[in-house]
Amino acid sequence: MNTKLLISPQELTSLLAEKSSQAVIIDTRSQEDYGISHIPESINIRDFFTYLLENSYPAGLKKLQEYFAEIMSTVGISGAERLIVYEDTLDKGYGQSCRAAFLLKYLGCAQVSILHGGYKAWQISGLPTTDEVPKRESSIFRLHLNADMMVTTAEMLQAIDNSAIIKLDVRDRNEWLGLSSSPYTADFCPRKGRIPNAVWIEWHRMMTCESEISMFRSKTEILEICQSVGITKDSIVYVYCFKGSRAANTLIALQLAGISARNYFGWNEWSRDFSLPVDSRVM
């Protein structure tokens, strides 16, 4: 089934009107923001943004899979539903709804869409909101892993000197320059810098903001930005940031432009493993 990657507030409203849609809306914002107001019947799963992958070796990935399988079962999601994820606005939440969409697909959910423009677009469209929390029965979530979506540390290490694979860093400017180790605090990670031979496009560049609503740029604009660092439709791209959120946001843009890419969850793991090489020059 071909599910739209991005869905507008109006399209979501129409989908919810279809009684047979089996749609579930997932709010990735903080519990505080969700408690103030949210899209009716949406459920809050903040963990899609906050969860830090311990490592990308089999044990670490298994822990991630089990963690989210338990959460999904608790909130009554089996994985067969049509899932729509949203955040407040796409340029403010560090890619949180995109990371949610990425993880859902990685875990095996086939029908996943992102609310384009986020909650802000929903509100500006004058659509209803609520502070009521829906009650859902638990279910059994079944994993159907799409393991190839995730780049492991071992694969990234092998790709460093492979010019056929572009290592795309999409972190904020200070992180790329080697002035900060994370989006949290400058010294959150033990090492600053970047993965050797990486190129850089700050994730914000893939979006444009009009009327307070952040939206992805056009296919043509995204391709032009990518071409500035040597990325074309024929490129193989490994995208990384600190924990896979901004990278997931960029993956959406690349996918819209027809570029093949995978996500490495990323600098938080790489920086902490002192056996891995780091380009630590201050740019």
Q: What are all long-range contacts of 154-160, with beta carbons under 8 Å and residues at least 24 apart?
A: 154/56, 154/57, 155/238, 155/264, 156/195, 156/238, 156/240, 156/264, 156/270, 157/276, 159/238, 160/195, 160/196, 160/197, 160/277
Instruction: Tell me the per-residue pLDDT of 9-23, one tens digit each, with 9 for 90 and over.
Output: 999 999 988 876 789
Per-residue pLDDT of the chain (283 residues), as tens digits, is 467 999 999 999 999 888 767 899 999 999 999 999 999 999 999 999 999 999 999 999 999 999 999 999 999 999 999 999 999 999 999 999 999 999 999 999 999 999 999 999 999 999 999 999 999 999 999 999 999 999 999 999 999 999 999 999 999 999 999 999 999 999 999 999 999 999 999 999 999 977 689 999 999 999 999 999 999 999 999 999 999 999 999 999 999 999 999 999 999 999 999 999 999 987 7
